[in-house]
Amino acid sequence: MDLKPYIRDISDFPKPGIIYKDITPLLNDSSALAEALRLFLEKLGTERIDKVVGIESRGFIFGALLAERLKAGFVPIRKPGKLPFGTIEEDYALEYGTNTLHLHRDAIKTGERVLVHDDVLATGGTAAAACKLVERLGGEIVQVNFLMELEFLNGKEKLKPHQVVSLCRF
């Protein structure tokens, strides 16, 4: 099943000149949703995963589903002011501004094998910041996966040496 037809473009969102990739049509179709989850699991293979990290906010959707299927814990990485416990933080640049990510300081234990998930790989800044947070707590990143990748932005470069998997490339 080709997942690309289930991802629509929204022009000038969230800012003029940005083409937003809307995944809600994919989420609305149970067959497309199931296929995306199946493909993520297939591309992970037999790797043991202790924690799945989902990046706010669309990364929570497949992140939680993957964690449940992998019998792993789910860890949200959030924007400032959204996590109630003590956090560590990492600043990053994105394709239309800057921001900071936060992770509970007790979310990852040394040596835990971690899958990092987000919906889209654009410039790579958000995912690179998430990886740094995981590694600062002693986690071992097994894979960084995305529903889609905007190849022309070369975000994969910022994620070296981690294994990067994207289901759709634009």
**Which positions are annotated as active-site residues?**
58, 95
* 105's tokens: 């300081």
Separation CA 126–CA 144 (nearest Å) = 12
Q: Are 90 and 129 in contact (CB under 8 A)?
A: yes
Give ∠ CA 94-117-28 in degrees, rounded to 5.
100
Sequential DSSP letters for 131-166 = HHHHHHTT-EEEEEEEEEE-GGG-GGGGGTTS-EEE
Is the previous residue joined to 14 through a cis bond, with omega within 30 degrees of 0?
A: yes
Three-state SS at 116? strand
Question: Could you tell me which residues come within 8 angstroms of residue 139 by beta carbon, excluding any fewer than 6 positions away?
Answer: 51, 108, 109, 110, 111, 112, 113, 114
